[in-house]
């Protein structure tokens, strides 16, 4: 699987937007970009995914660069409950793919 690179940590003020970057310069044409997050003392949870076009759901937005070599997860209005480790993961198909987690970005929300 292609590798992703994320900053180790980020901070944001409560109620402000947060942009979490992910670089995936070796992404292949069939790789989907998935984001999961892990709240403290919990298992990871799915956030959003995309292939080429930007995506929105109730949790977040995903902005994908035109060359697909990077993407940004956008939390429009961060709350204290959004404090978590965010993982950017590439999945080559919708088959039986295991998730290959990196170390992710630890997001701290400042009240």
Binding site for other proteins (CB under 8 A): 32, 34, 41-46, 49, 85, 87, 91, 94, 96-104
In the bound state with other proteins, the residue whose beta carbon lies nearer, of 6 and 70, is 6
Closest separation between CB of residue 85 and other proteins, Å? Answer: 8
Closest separation between CB of residue 32 and other proteins, Å? Answer: 8
In the bound state with other proteins, the residue whose beta carbon lies nearer, of 67 and 94, is 94
In the bound state with other proteins, the residue whose beta carbon lies nearer, of 49 and 68, is 49
CA angle 75, 91, 12 (to 5 degrees): 20
Distances in Å between the Cα of 45 and the Cα atoms of 11, 15, 50 are: 20, 22, 16
Alpha-carbon span 111 to 107, nearest angstrom: 13
Closest separation between CB of residue 36 and other proteins, Å? Answer: 8
Other C-beta atoms closer than 10 Å to the C-beta of 98 total 8
Under a CB-based contact definition with an 8 Å cutoff, are residues 8 and 106 in contact?
Answer: yes
Closest separation between CB of residue 73 and other proteins, Å? Answer: 16
In the bound state with other proteins, the residue whose beta carbon lies nearer, of 93 and 111, is 93
Rounded to whole angstroms, the maximal C-alpha distance in the chain is 41
């Amino acid at each position: 699987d292609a590798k992703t690179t994320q900053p180790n940590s980020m901070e944001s003020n409560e109620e402000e937007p947060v942009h979490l970057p992910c670089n995936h310069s070796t992404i292949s044409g069939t790789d989907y970009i998935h984001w999961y997050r892990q709240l403290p003392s919990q298992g990871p949870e799915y956030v959003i995914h995309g292939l080429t076009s930007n995506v929105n759901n109730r949790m977040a937005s995903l902005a994908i660069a035109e060359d697909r070599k990077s993407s940004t997860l956008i939390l429009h209005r961060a709350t204290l409950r959004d404090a978590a480790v965010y993982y950017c993961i590439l999945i080559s198909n919708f088959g039986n793919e295991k998730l290959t987690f990196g170390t992710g970005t630890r997001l701290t929300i400042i009240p």
